[in-house]
Chain A
Amino acid sequence: MWEIQMNPLNQKEALRYLGYGQNPPPENIMEMMRQCEQELMSAIQPRFVYKIFDLEKNHQNQTALVNCALSLEGDSIQNHLQDCTKAMVLCATISSQVDRLLRQTEIRDMTKAVIMDALASVAVEQVCDTIEEKLAQEMKGWYFTWRFGVGYGDFPLALQKQVVAVTDAAKRIGLHVNESYILTPRKSITCVIGMSQEMLGKKIRGCAVCNLKDSCGLRAKGSRCHW
């Protein structure tokens, strides 16, 4: 396994999370963002664990992971893995030290805390991007679907526990799930990535399958969170 080098954080993306969209933020906010990034970078400890499983059709003609206790419930994940022969279950976190820094920052300065929270969300996504890039290099000839998050679409959030169990993520990277299926440390991601040796067509992704579509502030303003 390799170590993940953190790239500078994508500030534009963080600004989008903060609602700025294309609007340029004032200089004092940008200055805070730079400070936050610096503090965050010293707290982040990226860790990840993944397992790759073969896919098969089970007796109900549903796609299933071979030799794995994680069930692929829901039309959206079934559809997502339609043309795949393998699937990767990936868990990543940027560590509980980040949670601690966020708590401390909330006490010291709420403005910075909000900015830092957005940056931390960006950071964990970037960690996943890096992992995917590396894996793509290692596994020449394989095509990946985008990362299908647990709880996205109708892929039940209640499967968090199974995802963490099958990857042994508690022991391997310190990732846990609480009774409400919330991941701790907070800035963590669990997802399923489909793999195929054939080129994969673009899968639907966006507001239509999103759980938050009825309450999304971005959507209300005519914007969206993905590209």
Chain B
Amino acid sequence: MSKINVKEMKYMLLDGGMGTMLQSMGMEMGTIPETLGITKPEWILDIHRQYVKAGAQVIYANTFSANRYKLEHCEYSVCEIIQAAVRNAKKACEGTDCLVALDIGPIGQLLEPTGSLSFEEAYDIFKEELTAGAKAGADLVVFETMTDLLEMKAAVLAAKENTDLPIFCTMTFEENGRTFTGCSVSAMALTLEGLGVDALGLNCSLGPKQVRGIVEEFLKWTTLPIIVKPNAGLPDPVTNKYDVSPEEFCTAMEELAHMGVQIFGGCCGTTPEFIRQLSHMLRNQDFVIKRKETIVPAAVCTYANTVCINQPRIIGERINPTGKKLFKEALKNKDMDYILNQAIEQVHGGAEILDVNVGLPGINEKEMMVAAVKAIQGIVDVPLQLDSTIPEVLEAALRVYNGKPIVNSVNGEEKSMEAVLPLVKKYGAAVVGLTIDEEGIPPKAKGRIKIAKKILNRALAMGIPKENVYIDCLTLTASAQQEGVMETLEALKYVKEELGLKTVLGVSNISFGLPNRESINHTFLTMAMMNGLDLPIMNPNIASMASSVRAFRLLKGYDVNSAEYIQAYKDVQIKTAAIATGVQKEPSVQRGQIEQLDLMGAVEHGLKTEGAKITRELLKSKDAMEIINHMLIPALDKAGAQFETGKIFLPQLILSAGVAQAAFEEIKKHMSHTNQAPVSKGKIVLATVKGDIHDIGKNIVKVLLENYGYTVIDLGKDVEYQAVVDAVTEHQAKLVGLSALMTTTLVSMEKTIALIHENKLDCKIVVGGAVLTPEYAKQIHADFYAKDAKETVDIAKQIIG
């Protein structure tokens, strides 16, 4: 297969709309357009030929929706449809140089976490289409009309790993420069160019006049040829007609050509006449492509947030179990909420990138890493630095990451470079290079610079661009190797200034073994930034650390008009201790009573901070179980009783539970410090059943159960039947709670219950959810029906005690 070298071509012309043409030919409503390749091949041939005749150099085979999900109820298979479609297109091209593109649109279901389709399933669906298309003889593949960058990534990986086809990618943007899911142009370009596609751009959604701003963004963020395949304006909701004429379309496209767009075409509402005029314009335009060379800035991104490494950026270090008992406990219990809380806290503290390390002996690190990456990127918008010593773990994380991440790390050892750099190249990531090799850490700056050069050269040789290599000159502890401090900084300065690379450094180690560590840390941080540090890895929740970075950016003039600094500190009184972020500002009305407030009162009034404080005091004189059984639980019981009698309502009940949760956190910390076994009344497995993604009810139940002292194994939403059985077995849970919100997912609930019974597990089942009734619960053989969270607690008490 000859690669299409678009860069060498002056321009390339694609075809126009297919759906529009089929409708005008009288396609019946409800027909799957892709089946026409088999039932009415003459229609498809006719349309293709019209486009070839109009001057298209690439025509899209009629395969847009030919995926297993959309063809579920179709009489033809994915393979049959794609074969016929490619055959028709090739036939239409006979005797010309026109190429045939396998056209692949979105699957039609949203991926996790908004939808329920997993990345892995999406990959599989695309793989089936791609394998069929390549076999049928397509010349290239086009992924178009995508709005979800992760879905696009699954598609690109499927193409790369299963075919040799050149890859064109276009996504559909709104006028604000984002797709429906929030993906930005910069994120798309950084991610897909990194993955090694051949051309990228936009299609559908807008008319050619509205895409100017978006094209400008593309020009900034990619060196690849840019594709523009817009609609003929917008459709009328009643007549379904588009409002831009071929002439207007062509004029607008000509302007885009002068900006530097290289690949042209039309989407919805465009016809062969549009393409004919485009072809005429492109041929007779004696333009030389005026595109300036693009220098893509050093940057990493999520699908929605691009972080340029053009000034010091904080990498939060807290998602790492090293030296943290509670974190280790959370990993063992697969308690994702703990990790997510760490993520949110750091982002609130000022982290712009988060390091994610979930390595712990005895757990499946790969599985945990994938779960953590998926969960974290589902709730926070900062890029991730994937941190593991195991290449398989890194690769698993790189696959599912939605954007362009940093890999932490490679070092100067031969086997490290051999294992890690190919992954960095394949997935288009940035990488941290540690200046250490087989001989250890060189004591002098010179030695570290040498390793930095070695890593850089190896990366370049593999095709990893320079701007994606970040060097870590390694911080040694000042108490042990005082003379090493300046060596690190000297090496850093050289790497930054002479090698022209971005630099990264873990700063907290510097003060190990010394008193008043914070002071050493932020002084060192400031020194490092003065020497050119771009990416400090640190704890952003220590106010003085985050403020050093912000102050530095202000003083260096990065923070124009001090806007960011003022925004961060306008309401804040800097404390010397860690800032407790995310803590609710509590109403002042009750403040006066705090003097005589006890734990029960705090729970009743929903005062979280006070509840935690009182608990800390109580733990000095009282046993944990006594606090739980004689204060927390009676307080929760009281709130529960008030809820049942309509004196308080759901938000207040949860608020009280939240105070109990804060108290529990204190108790857990205390137990962990005093090396006592964690307190738990027993384990309960909770799941929102397969197919259902409404899990707020289940989450409410979880909060309440946890605050009664039960350990909840939360399997999340859309949970496989077998996963419930496995969890019950693994944790020997005595109670399982299942929720379903829709009539359509009650079936899944029934099946889950049946499988639990089939496996003869010694556990009781409680079910709940909006559409359930006690009668139905009985009918599907649940042991209990709970109408709300409070009732679930009553049932748990009855079963477990």
Across-interface contacts of A184 in B (CB, < 8 A):
109-110, 114-116, 693
The CA of A113 and the CA of B654, in the complex, are separated in Å by: 10
Known contacts being A181-B742, A182-B693, A184-B115, is A96 close to B180, with CB within 8 Å? yes
Across-interface contacts of A179 in B (CB, < 8 A):
109, 116, 691
B587 close to A111 (CB less than 8 A): no
Known contacts being A96-B110, A100-B378, A178-B116, is A1 close to B699, with CB within 8 Å? no
Known contacts being A171-B204, A215-B772, is A20 close to B694, with CB within 8 Å? no
**Does residue A80 face the partner (Cβ distance < 8 Å to B)?**
no
Across-interface contacts of B110 in A (CB, < 8 A):
96, 176, 178, 184-185
Among B51-59, B337-345, B418-426, B755-763, the stretch that binds chain A is B337-345
**Chain A residue at minimum C-beta to C-beta distance from B205:** A171
| Chain A residues engaging chain B, CB cutoff 8 angstroms | 1, 18-20, 23, 25-29, 31-32, 47, 49-52, 67-69, 95-97, 99-100, 102-104, 106-115, 117, 157-158, 162, 166, 170-171, 173-174, 176-182, 184-186, 211-212, 214-215, 217, 221
B651 close to A31 (CB less than 8 A): no
The CA of A51 and the CA of B109, in the complex, are separated in Å by: 22
Ordered nearest first, which 10 A-B pairs have the shortest CB separation?
A174-B180, A69-B30, A180-B691, A104-B379, A111-B655, A28-B587, A184-B115, A184-B110, A111-B654, A180-B744
Q: Which among B108, B117, B234, B379 is the interface contact of A170 at CB below 8 angstroms?
A: B108
Q: How far is the CB of B383 from chain A (nearest CB, A)?
A: 16
B649 close to A19 (CB less than 8 A): yes
A185 close to B651 (CB less than 8 A): no
Q: Which among A28, A51, A108 is the interface contact of B582 at CB below 8 angstroms?
A: A108
Known contacts being A52-B237, A180-B745, is A171 close to B114, with CB within 8 Å? no
Known contacts being A114-B696, A178-B109, A178-B691, is A173 close to B180, with CB within 8 Å? yes
B743 close to A157 (CB less than 8 A): yes
Q: CB-defined interface of B701-732 with A at 8 Å, one 1/0 digit per residue?
A: 00100000000000000000000000000000
**Chain B residue at minimum C-beta to C-beta distance from A23:** B649
Q: How far is the CB of B601 from chain A (nearest CB, A)?
A: 14
The CA of A180 and the CA of B222, in the complex, are separated in Å by: 39
Q: Which among B113, B700, B745 is the interface contact of A103 at CB below 8 angstroms?
A: B113
Of A1, A99, A173, most B-chain CB atoms within 10 Å:
A99
Q: Which among B145, B181, B652 is the interface contact of A29 at CB below 8 angstroms?
A: B652
**Chain A residue at minimum C-beta to C-beta distance from B655:** A111
B residues 154-208 near A (Cβ < 8 Å) are 172, 179-182, 204
| Chain B residues engaging chain A, CB cutoff 8 angstroms | 29-30, 106, 108-110, 113-117, 145, 147, 172, 179-182, 204, 234, 237-238, 240, 337, 340-341, 344, 378-380, 582, 584, 586-587, 589, 606, 646, 649-652, 654-655, 657-658, 691-694, 696, 699-700, 703, 742-745, 748, 770-773, 787-788
Across-interface contacts of A217 in B (CB, < 8 A):
787-788
The CA of A205 and the CA of B759, in the complex, are separated in Å by: 45
The CA of A97 and the CA of B773, in the complex, are separated in Å by: 33
Q: How far is the CB of B107 from chain A (nearest CB, A)?
A: 9
The CA of A166 and the CA of B29, in the complex, are separated in Å by: 8
A28 close to B691 (CB less than 8 A): no
The CA of A162 and the CA of B657, in the complex, are separated in Å by: 42
B237 close to A215 (CB less than 8 A): no
**Chain A residue at minimum C-beta to C-beta distance from B106:** A170
Q: Which among A107, A111, A115, A186 is the interface contact of B379 at CB below 8 angstroms?
A: A107
Across-interface contacts of B180 in A (CB, < 8 A):
47, 95-96, 173-174
Known contacts being A18-B651, A182-B694, is A211 close to B106, with CB within 8 Å? no
**Chain A residue at minimum C-beta to C-beta distance from B747:** A180
Q: How far is the CB of A109 from chain B (nearest CB, A)?
A: 6
Of B109, B117, B655, most A-chain CB atoms within 10 Å:
B655
The CA of A23 and the CA of B642, in the complex, are separated in Å by: 14
The CA of A182 and the CA of B116, in the complex, are separated in Å by: 10
Given contacts A47-B180, A100-B378, A182-B116, 16 further A-B contacts (CB under 8 A): A20-B649, A25-B649, A27-B589, A49-B237, A69-B30, A100-B114, A100-B379, A106-B699, A107-B340, A111-B654, A177-B109, A179-B116, A180-B742, A182-B692, A184-B109, A215-B787
B771 close to A211 (CB less than 8 A): yes
Q: How far is the CB of A28 from chain B (nearest CB, A)?
A: 4
B114 close to A99 (CB less than 8 A): yes
**Chain A residue at minimum C-beta to C-beta distance from B653:** A111
**Chain B residue at minimum C-beta to C-beta distance from A48:** B237
Across-interface contacts of A117 in B (CB, < 8 A):
696
Across-interface contacts of B238 in A (CB, < 8 A):
51-52
Across-interface contacts of A174 in B (CB, < 8 A):
147, 179-181
Q: How far is the CB of B336 from chain A (nearest CB, A)?
A: 9
Number of A-B residue pairs at CB separation under 8 A = 164
Across-interface contacts of B650 in A (CB, < 8 A):
18-19, 114
Across-interface contacts of A1 in B (CB, < 8 A):
234, 237
Across-interface contacts of B108 in A (CB, < 8 A):
170, 176
Known contacts being A25-B649, A51-B237, is A110 close to B742, with CB within 8 Å? no
A104 close to B344 (CB less than 8 A): yes
Q: How far is the CB of B745 from chain A (nearest CB, A)?
A: 5
Across-interface contacts of B234 in A (CB, < 8 A):
1
Across-interface contacts of A173 in B (CB, < 8 A):
180
The CA of A69 and the CA of B23, in the complex, are separated in Å by: 14
Q: Which among B116, B145, B606 is the interface contact of A171 at CB below 8 angstroms?
A: B145
Of A27, A68, A110, most B-chain CB atoms within 10 Å:
A110
Across-interface contacts of A25 in B (CB, < 8 A):
649, 651-652
Across-interface contacts of B646 in A (CB, < 8 A):
23, 221
The CA of A174 and the CA of B109, in the complex, are separated in Å by: 10
The CA of A162 and the CA of B32, in the complex, are separated in Å by: 12
The CA of A128 and the CA of B73, in the complex, are separated in Å by: 32
**Chain A residue at minimum C-beta to C-beta distance from B380:** A104
Across-interface contacts of A108 in B (CB, < 8 A):
341, 344, 582
A–B pairs, 19, beta carbons within 8 Å: A18-B650, A27-B589, A32-B584, A50-B237, A51-B240, A52-B237, A96-B110, A100-B378, A108-B344, A110-B700, A110-B703, A114-B651, A174-B147, A176-B115, A177-B109, A178-B117, A180-B692, A184-B115, A185-B114
Across-interface contacts of B337 in A (CB, < 8 A):
107
**Chain B residue at minimum C-beta to C-beta distance from A65:** B29
Across-interface contacts of B586 in A (CB, < 8 A):
28
Across-interface contacts of A211 in B (CB, < 8 A):
743, 771
A107 close to B344 (CB less than 8 A): yes
**Chain B residue at minimum C-beta to C-beta distance from A95:** B180
The CA of A187 and the CA of B147, in the complex, are separated in Å by: 18
B696 close to A111 (CB less than 8 A): no
Q: How far is the CB of A159 from chain B (nearest CB, A)?
A: 12
Across-interface contacts of B703 in A (CB, < 8 A):
110
The CA of A225 and the CA of B253, in the complex, are separated in Å by: 52
A96 close to B181 (CB less than 8 A): yes
Known contacts being A28-B586, A69-B29, A212-B770, is A176 close to B693, with CB within 8 Å? no
Q: Which among B182, B606, B657, B770 is the interface contact of A215 at CB below 8 angstroms?
A: B770
**Chain A residue at minimum C-beta to C-beta distance from B113:** A103
A176 close to B109 (CB less than 8 A): yes
Q: How far is the CB of A115 from chain B (nearest CB, A)?
A: 6
Across-interface contacts of A100 in B (CB, < 8 A):
113-114, 378-379
B182 close to A96 (CB less than 8 A): yes
Across-interface contacts of B237 in A (CB, < 8 A):
1, 49-52
Known contacts being A109-B658, A110-B703, is A96 close to B116, with CB within 8 Å? no
Q: Which among A18, A28, A97 is the interface contact of B649 at CB below 8 angstroms?
A: A18
**Chain A residue at minimum C-beta to C-beta distance from B181:** A96
The CA of A135 and the CA of B544, in the complex, are separated in Å by: 55
**Chain A residue at minimum C-beta to C-beta distance from B746:** A180
The CA of A176 and the CA of B110, in the complex, are separated in Å by: 6
**Chain B residue at minimum C-beta to C-beta distance from A175:** B180
A26 close to B652 (CB less than 8 A): yes
